[in-house]
Amino acid sequence: MTENENKIVKYLRNRLPEADRLAFEEAIKNDPKLAEEVEETSIALAVLKTGYNRERKKALKALMTEHKPKPTTIFSRIAPYLAAASIALLLAFGIYHFYPTSSSELFADQYFKPFSIAQKSSDGLTATLQEKAYDFYNKRQYNEAIPILEQLYSDNSKNRLLAGIAFYKTGNYQKASVQFNKLIDTEDFLYKETGMWYEAINQLKQNNPSKAKNYLKTITPKSEYFSEAQTLLKKI
């Protein structure tokens, strides 16, 4: 693993010191390639964790169902169970060592997708505030987008959603939650359901699977997020 890859993994697992984390987030904002690597790594870690758990279950099941000669001593009768317990402990240690991030956080990384907006890059001189905000958002320069979006979202659900996502991506989960819940309270079906989906992801990122489930369960079949919500409910 290269030094840069190691730093990405530490960042995703919240293992970087505060100063290093802020510097790394600044680098992500100014380097689209690095931002893409961070996103791809977060997805890869989630997939790897899921696959690792699946293989662990297969190994334990095979061990417990494997045909054995009829035991003749107390030790021979309990030996398979001792072996299974040993394997479980070793695998659990391996998962803790290599995957200290909770499964809820990994699912958040796996299922999070930025809300897409169509916006051409602005020249920065004649662009309106909204165009500048969208330009920063599309470039994943979230810290620059946030103060502009905060001026615009009071009567605009889309800008409020983008602000919530920008807060989420910069680690401001409480502020993100405020924005997503305001969307949930609106009468606009599209943004109400979208707010439920992103708040569920936001709660998973904070390792609150029970709260996430409550939001996922309220997403209706008419929503574009319904299928993913049902799939995620079965996993958490």
Report the pLDDT value the prediction gives residue 9, as an integer from 0 to 100. 84
Report the pLDDT value the prediction gives residue 45, as an integer from 0 to 100. 73
Structure-model confidence comparison of residues 61 and 30, the more confident one: 30
Out of 101, 133, 167, pick the residue that ends a domain.
101
- Expressed as residue numbers, the domain containing 191 is 109-235
Out of 44, 66, 101, pick the residue that ends a domain.
101
Number of domains in the chain: 2
Can you spell out the DSSP letters for 127-196? --HHHHHHHHHHTT-HHHHHHHHHHHGGG-HHHHHHHHHHHHHTT-HHHHHHHHHHHHTSS-HHHHHHHH
Q: What is the CATH number of the domain that holds 172?
A: 1.25.40.10
Please give the mean pLDDT across all residues of the chain: 79
CA quadruple 46, 50, 53, 59: dihedral positive or negative? negative
Q: pLDDT tens for residues 34-67?
A: 888 888 888 877 766 665 556 555 655 655 565 4
| 114 and 97 within one domain | no
Out of 101, 128, 143, pick the residue that ends a domain.
101
Average pLDDT over residues 210-217: 96
Nearest to 163 by CA among 190, 189, 136: 136
Average pLDDT over residues 151-160: 87
| 186 and 117 within one domain | yes
| 88 and 140 within one domain | no
